[in-house]
Amino acid sequence: DRRNYFAFLMYLFLSAMFGIVFSNSLMWLFFFWEITTVCSFLLIGYRDDKASRDSAFKALNMNLVGGVVFAFGIIYLYATTHTLELDKLIRLDKGLVLLPAVCFAFAGLVKSAQFPFSSWLTDAMVAPTPVSTLLHSSTMVKAGVYLILRVAPVLHNTVADQMLTLIGGVSFLVTALIAISQSNAKKVLAYSTISNLGLIVACAGVNTDAAIWSALLLIIFHAVAKSLLFLCSGSVIYGCHHEQEMPKMGGLRKKMPITAYTMLIAVIAISGLAI
């Protein structure tokens, strides 16, 4: 029974997410950023079987690549401008801050599991459903798009803007098509998460006021609706004796009416019909 260990990691992760959101210093942001990476690694591997360990190390390795690029961006920024405040980037010479901003955006793409780094998120679905709910729908992956939106003003009217639009658009379309072809309940949610994050990244690449506001609203609505869907799917999987294949989950309205109607609300919300 490792529930105390599990709860400690979850609360540590939540604390690190607060640190990411409230940090203006890039050094502190990077510190909390890496805490989320370590917590994610430990939580994905929580069951301690081969599949969990392989998925955990895959997530760790990919996110460490993003972390190294993030660290390089911080070092380069300090060497050229002697500043580490995130809000000052837009007021500095664009020629000096463009490369660090691209590095931060790259780290954000890895963290939000955008193409070609999408596989770590889908493999992470071996983790317990509360981990998928918290880390991989509403918080950790959102840290990536949050950072991209923070540096988006620096990337305005650059090739990096166009690349963000392309990467986000490809991730959105391809993973949406993959999602509708899946039969595993948690993988459907994982691919649709990557798809929605791709739409947010594409909005950041378009980089107009309306697009940025749309991205912010998408972050909020997706976090709430997808968390609800993940929790409901965990309840259904548990109620169906740990069965994750959707064709074998028929008759949920009669077996689990409250969960079925709650899932319907979440589906409507994430479809945009509730807006």
Q: What is the pLDDT along the chain (275 residues), one digit of tens a residue?
A: 788 888 898 889 889 989 988 988 889 999 999 998 888 888 888 887 887 888 888 888 888 888 899 899 899 988 888 888 888 888 877 788 888 888 888 988 888 878 888 777 777 777 777 777 777 677 778 888 888 888 888 888 888 888 888 888 888 888 888 888 877 777 787 788 888 888 888 888 888 888 888 888 888 888 888 878 878 877 877 777 666 677 777 777 777 888 888 888 877 877 764 45
Read off the pTM: 0.83
Reduced 3-state DSSP string for the chain? CCHHHHHHHHHHHHHHHHHHHHCCEHHHHHHHHHHHHHHHHHHHCCCCCHHHHHHHHHHHHHHHHHHHHHHHHHHHHHHHHCCCEHHHHHHCCHHHHHHHHHHHHHHHHHHCCCCCCCHHHHHHHHCCHHHHHHHHHHCHHHHHHHHHHHHHHHHCCCHHHHHHHHHHHHHHHHHHHHHCCCCEHHHHHHHHHHHHHHHHHHHHHHCCHHHHHHHHHHHHHHHHHHHHHHHHHHHHHHHCCCCCEHHHCCCHHHHCHHHHHHHHHHHHHHCCCCC
pLDDT tens for residues 42-54?
888 888 788 788 8
Q: How far is CA 83 from CA 74, 77, 78, in A?
A: 9, 7, 5
Question: Rounded distance, CA 173 to CA 116, Å?
Answer: 13
Question: Rounded distance, CA 193 to CA 120, Å?
Answer: 13
